[in-house]
Structure 1
């Protein structure tokens, strides 16, 4: 059975932005099993010093990530797109076990197969320690509300 994950490439500005928001919503769910379904079974990732080479490894990676990154809240923003490729910039806030808050900034380059599953994900990420008073992402855990400002609106 072929998995289909709309919107499908080739992307236009509307479908690329929709794909980015769907990815953001999935990651904000922090449900590793659900999120992993957006990736092809042979997906290839580079994420910091981690390299993922299939969907099962992606799910393990995400499970471990969200066990470490508490109160995770993410905003993604479309940067560019063409055919079956999308580039995004993003920021997310989280705290570690000691209570230290961070804002992690990054860029991702995505390549999708014809069914809309992501077959490649290349991420570059930097972490900035924050005081709790410097946080900007305050919505309840889960999906970012539609009326919450995006990265550009927040000056990030």
Structure 2
């Protein structure tokens, strides 16, 4: 997409498109590209970690994807209003021993007027699965 989708979010199709763009971006597993979608002073809560700033996000994502191998994500719009969105998601990954997991969660997003995300709150739970039970490929 050549233009950034910016708040206020009023069109359900554009809001869903914003979520799809985020899903596609995260599935690149490229920390710098993903972090570029966030403001320089972004604030995150991811599980029990609290991060501030784009560089902290890059470092976090490097650690994440060094540990969560074979990562594949699916996001779904839950709701939206003004400059905020709620998203549910699940992703699958395996550790270095080959154990697969499905991680389920919800995110609350808040966007700056520029369309970059300025705040992300994520709650995530992991469930061990068999490789045969994977749904994301």
User: TM-score, length-normalised on structure 2?
Assistant: 0.96
In structure 2, stretches of 5+ residues that fail to align are none
Provide the alpha-carbon RMSD of the alignment. Answer: 0.8
Aligned to 1:53: 52
- Runs (4 or more) in structure 1 with deviation over 6 Å come to none
Please report how far the alpha carbon of residue 49 of structure 1 lies from its aligned counterpart in structure 2 after TM superposition. Answer: 1.2
Cα distance in 2, alignment partners of residues 34 and 133 from structure 1? 31
User: In structure 2, what is the Cα distance between the partners aligned to 1:93 and 1:99?
Assistant: 12
The count of corresponding residues between Structure 1 and Structure 2 is 134
Whole-Å separation in 2 of the counterparts to 1:74 and 1:105? 10
Give a deviation string over 1:111-152, Cα, whole Å, max 9, x none: 0000001000000000000011111112xxxxxxxxxxxxxx
5+ residue gaps, structure 1: 139-156
1: CA distance, partners of 2:118 / 2:47: 18
What is the DSSP-based 3-state SS (H/G/I as helix, E as strand, rest coil) of the residue aligned with 2:108? strand
Task: Give the alignment's TM-score, normalised by structure 1.
Answer: 0.84
Alpha-carbon offset, residue 15 of structure 1: 1.5
